[in-house]
Structure 1
Amino acid sequence: MSSEESKAIVRRWHEGVFNQKRLSTIDELIDENYANHTANIVGLADARERFSELVREHPDVHLVTEDTIAEGDKVATRWNWYEKDKLIAIGMTIHRVSGGKIVEDWFCSMQMTTG
């Protein structure tokens, strides 16, 4: 799988789940043996539950991907999380993509505060 194909999968993930709230994207793009090492999400069923809950709890979320860089089977993104046009958090994620699915990822985020 090329770096461009892997980047397209991650773009579909961000757009489908967070911006369009299309939860079927989880089953389409997350591997059965998925692992999110930061949030301790293990497996597709756990991912489905946790990401669905995240979208339910944040119905106004809009994720803006600022940068996407790929090398080998890894795709790194730098993103901004907005709710109702207000910047809520900034972060970066490294996804490992294999066989057309996201197999594992790691993320780091920082919540923005208002003065």
Structure 2
Amino acid sequence: MTPEQNKTLVHRFIDAYNARDLDVFDDLVAPDYIDHTHHQQGREPFRQLFTLAFDAFPDWHEAIEDMIAEGDRVWVWVTATGTHTGEWNLFGVPLPPTGRKVIMSMVFIWRIADGRLAEGWEVDSEVDFLRAIGVLAYTEKGMAIFPEDEGD
């Protein structure tokens, strides 16, 4: 596939994700998909992550800000937004809904093989995410350094 075809594939995947169309996994994700971020392999465990996210953040949406493709790789930067209205399992600990809004930048890197996502990496700030849902808070010193974030 050409880099442009790979970009189209990733765009289709993110559009399907935003539409909650998990049936698209069969067409767009390789059965032996490798998720380097969550240390798992297989299309079904990857699909399960999306199901859990939709339960905890039903309005989660990823807006594509930029996309670069070269060879068999696609880098995509998204702005993700969502509201924590369902239970989120954090490292095996259930976190009840907080009603808090999350806005974060994320970068995904995908390797494409045989017209499907074959491997993936995710780069984001887990600290910002955990702060947004109220799991982490700045210390007094942190609030002095970042005063505009005191209300979070």
- Whether these two folds match at TM > 0.5 is yes
Equivalence for 1:5:
5
**Could you report, residue by residue, the CA deviation over 1:70-91 in whole angstroms, capped at 9, with x for unpaired residues?**
000000011110126x552111
Out of 124, 133, 137, the position equivalent to 1:109 is 124
Moved over 6 A (4+): none
Q: Which segments of 5 or more consecutive residues in structure 2 lack a partner in the other structure? A: 84-100, 133-148
CA shift at 1:4, angstroms?
0.6
Give the match's secondary structure for 2:32.
strand
1:61-100 correspondence to structure 2 within 5 Å: 61-83=60-82, 88-100=103-115
CA-based RMSD of the aligned residues comes to 1.6
Aligned-partner Cα distance in 1 for 2:54–2:26: 15
In terms of mean alpha carbon deviation, does 29-38 or 87-96 score higher? Answer: 87-96
Aligned-partner Cα distance in 2 for 1:29–1:70: 17
CA shift at 1:33, angstroms?
0.8
Aligned-partner Cα distance in 1 for 2:102–2:65: 13
Q: TM-score, normalised by structure 1?
A: 0.89
Give the match's secondary structure for 2:11.
helix
Is contact 1:80-1:87 (8 Å) kept? no
CA shift at 1:40, angstroms?
1.4
Is contact 1:27-1:48 (8 Å) kept? no
Equivalence for 1:29:
28
CA shift at 1:98, angstroms?
1.1
Q: Which segments of 5 or more consecutive residues in structure 1 lack a partner in the other structure? A: none
Q: Which is higher, the Rg of structure 1 or of structure 2?
A: 2
Q: TM-score, normalised by structure 2?
A: 0.69
Percentage of matched positions with identical amino acids: 30
Give the match's secondary structure for 1:76.
strand
1:54 equivalent to 2:53? Answer yes
1:38-49 correspondence to structure 2 within 5 Å: 38-49=37-48
CA shift at 1:24, angstroms?
0.7
**Could you report, residue by residue, the CA deviation over 1:6-38 in whole angstroms, capped at 9, with x for unpaired residues?**
001100111101x11111122221101101101
Q: Which is richer in strand?
A: 1
Give the match's secondary structure for 1:38.
coil
Aligned-partner Cα distance in 2 for 1:3–1:9: 10
Per the alignment, do residues 78 and 37 of structure 1 end up closer, same or farther by CA in structure 2, a change over 3 Å counting? same
